[in-house]
Amino acid sequence: MTYHFETQCIHGDRTKEQAHPYGAVAVPIYQTATFSHPGIGHSTGYDYTRESNPTRTELEKMMSGLEQAEDTVACTTGMAAISLLMELFSSGDHWVCSEDLYGGSVRIFDSMGKKRGLEFSYVNTADLAATEAAIQENTKVLYIETPSNPTMQITDLRAVRKLADKYGLLVAVDNTFLSPYFQKPLTLGADFVVHSGTKFLGGHNDTLAGFLCTGNKDYVEKIRYIYKTCGSCLSPFDSFLLIRGLKTLAVRMEQQQKNAKKIAEWLRTQPKIKSVYYVGLPDHPGYEVNANQTSGAGSMISFQVDSEETARTLLEKVQLITYAESLGGVESLVTYPMLQTHGDVPKDVRERLGITEDFLRLSVGIEHVEDLIADLEQALA
């Protein structure tokens, strides 16, 4: 039987937790490094936690169900998941990437990736012609963020899949901003999906995690082999925290999106706000494409204020909203991308993308929206 998304978040693919010892309703934490063998040549199915662990397996199965993946591996961080993805490729392979990309992704590509002999080009993947023009003879993968971080560019994933088929390429999508609740890239043609599970999936700003999901059967065994070899596996306790976070994913995403829309509309009325970047606003350039490939706009807002002084004053004066890196938790966070998430991106690239001294990013939480607006109002005064 196939269950609705909200039910899968809580129960996975079953309605009763009959498989758990002693009838435990919550998933037990198997805090063990190793497992005993029933006999020589026999196994319970679990041998060593670096390879597999029952708590983590439960989480991975849940994520595979939510993303409609063939398989999922849970990693220590989102960066570990991206590093694992890179291991699938060889020296000389070329990637075409969204130019407005999380700064940590750019850092790992331009340092570790290039050290391994991989090559990277960055283009506006919302522009299909520019994306096609960047493809080379040695291109192997199109790496997409949509919405992008932090300027919220939208890439048409169905069009990207057609382009990939034309040149025999793979497609990887960072789905951190929308989560599988609002967007399922594998159903739109992606071969791989990566997540920073630290963000919306965990949802409480209390643990680090990452996921690599694949819809391509040819890569399941390869990923599992590299995964156990590199040892980037999520711990049993952190797996438990992610399972607990997933249970409320749907209700959190709905409330966060509801709050974000009201805040985005309010920001547009403020004299010190020059521009608002929110995919849920009908005049956003990617609004129609996003609406056609997702079921929501999420709760990430970026905005440009009238000066660097206003930006810094807001960061110093917010009281309820926290000035901090990260996103996707129940608490609202405001970030200064120029100094924080995109500090490693070259200045000329940042400024061309609009990530300047007057640019801020807001991750909207589940607090009462009137309290959040009041906090922004006093910080902008």
Q: Which domains does the chain have, with CATH numbers?
A: 5-246 (3.40.640.10), 250-380 (3.90.1150.10)
pLDDT of residue 2: 82
* pLDDT band, residue 349 (cuts 50/70/90): confident
What is Dmax (Cα atoms) for the chain? 74
Tokens of 23: 């009838």
Distance CA 130, CA 152 (A): 18
User: Which of 30, 102, 181, 336 is the catalytic position?
Assistant: 102
Q: Is the pLDDT of residue 280 over 60?
A: yes
**Does the active-site annotation cover 199?**
yes
Distance CA 370, CA 262 (A): 9
Instruction: Show Cβ contacts of residue 41 under 8 Å, excluding neighbours closer than 6 positions.
Output: none
Distance CA 35, CA 37 (A): 7
For the sheet with 170-174, list strands across it. Answer: 71-75, 210-214, 192-196, 170-174, 139-145, 94-98, 119-123
**Does the active-site annotation cover 174?**
yes
What is the average per-residue pLDDT within 336-349?
Answer: 82
Please answer whether residues 47 and 225 qualify as being in contact, where contact means their C-beta atoms are separated by less than 8 angstroms.
Answer: no
pLDDT of residue 201: 98
pLDDT of residue 238: 98
Please answer whether residues 186 and 69 qualify as being in contact, where contact means their C-beta atoms are separated by less than 8 angstroms.
Answer: yes
What Cα–Cα distance (Å) separates residue 303 from each residue in 44, 147, 268, 278? 53, 15, 9, 8
Q: Is the pLDDT of residue 16 over 70?
A: no
Q: Is the pLDDT of residue 318 over 90?
A: yes
Tokens of 18: 């009959």
Q: Which amino acid is residue 215, in one-letter code? A: G
Please answer whether residues 332 and 314 qualify as being in contact, where contact means their C-beta atoms are separated by less than 8 angstroms.
Answer: no
**Percent of the chain's residues with pLDDT above 90:** 90
For 339-349, letters b (16+ CB in 10 Å) and e give: eebbeebeeee
Neighbours of 35 (CB within 10 A): 17
The residue to which tokens 């920001």 are assigned: 267
pLDDT of residue 239: 98
- Helix locations, the chain, DSSP H: 5-11, 54-67, 78-86, 103-108, 114-115, 128-134, 157-167, 179-182, 220-230, 236-246, 249-267, 287-293, 308-317, 347-353, 369-380
Please answer whether residues 329 and 205 qualify as being in contact, where contact means their C-beta atoms are separated by less than 8 angstroms.
Answer: yes
* pLDDT band, residue 18 (cuts 50/70/90): low
Residues 165-218 pLDDT 10s: 999 999 999 999 999 999 999 999 999 999 999 999 999 999 999 999 999 999
* pLDDT band, residue 350 (cuts 50/70/90): confident
What is the average per-residue pLDDT within 327-336?
Answer: 97
* Residue 38 DSSP symbol: S
pLDDT of residue 19: 75
Distance CA 244, CA 239 (A): 9
User: Which of 71, 174, 191, 238 is the catalytic position?
Assistant: 174
Neighbours of 159 (CB within 10 A): 17
**Does the active-site annotation cover 361?**
no
Instruction: Show Cβ contacts of residue 1 under 8 Å, excluding neighbours closer than 6 positions.
Output: none
pLDDT of residue 377: 98
User: Which of 50, 247, 258, 272 is the catalytic position?
Assistant: 50
Distance CA 381, CA 370 (A): 16
What is the average per-residue pLDDT within 146-171?
Answer: 97
Residues 99-134 pLDDT 10s: 999 999 999 999 999 999 999 999 999 999 999 999
Distance CA 381, CA 376 (A): 9
The candidate with the shortest Cα–Cα distance to 281, out of 133, 160, 154, is 154
Distance CA 350, CA 336 (A): 12
Q: Is the pLDDT of residue 17 over 70?
A: no
pLDDT of residue 14: 67
The candidate with the shortest Cα–Cα distance to 49, out of 32, 72, 27, is 32
What is the average per-residue pLDDT within 260-265?
Answer: 98
Average pLDDT over the chain reads 95
Residues 37-93 pLDDT 10s: 999 999 999 999 999 999 999 999 999 999 999 999 999 999 999 999 999 999 999
Q: Is the pLDDT of residue 292 over 90?
A: yes
User: Which of 199, 261, 350, 361 is the catalytic position?
Assistant: 199
